[in-house]
Structure formats: structure tokens, C-alpha cells
Amino acid sequence: MSMRCRGREKLYRTHSDALRPLHSWTALFEQYWSHQLSRVKQRAEGVAKQHDGKNKEQQ
């Protein structure tokens, strides 16, 4: 990563060649985490539906 100042701003630039191994390594986990996040989303949506149903019954 490199940085240069332009007035009060600091501009950063990444060096993609240096990040490529990290990107490859994290790609190994992408499928696992995508599945896990989908499960979290489904669970949250299910809880929200139950909560909405209880609110409608109370009205």
C-alpha cells in the first residue's frame, strides 16, 4: 500500500500483486461463509415473520 497527501486528503493505493495471495486464501472460505450467511438471513427472516404475526394478533 502506498499513500500520498493532497492538501488535507490522504490518498491510498493498494498493490494488487501483494494482495493476490490473500485474495486466493480467503476465496477458500467464501463458499462456507456464503452458506452460513444465508442461514443467518433465513433465520432472521423467520424470526421477523413470527414477530410480525404476533403484532398483527395484538392489534
Predicted confidence at residue 6, as pLDDT, reads: 93
Q: Can you give the pLDDT at residue 58?
A: 64
pLDDT on residue 4: 94
Chain segment 2-59, per-residue pLDDT in tens:
999 999 999 999 888 888 898 888 888 887 888 888 899 999 999 988 888 766 666 6
pTM listed for this prediction: 0.43
In the prediction, which pLDDT does 59 show?
Answer: 60
Give residues with Cβ within 8 angstroms of 2, minimum separation 6: 12, 13, 15
pLDDT of residue 51: 82
Query: Whole-angstrom Cα distance, residue 19 to residue 1?
Result: 9
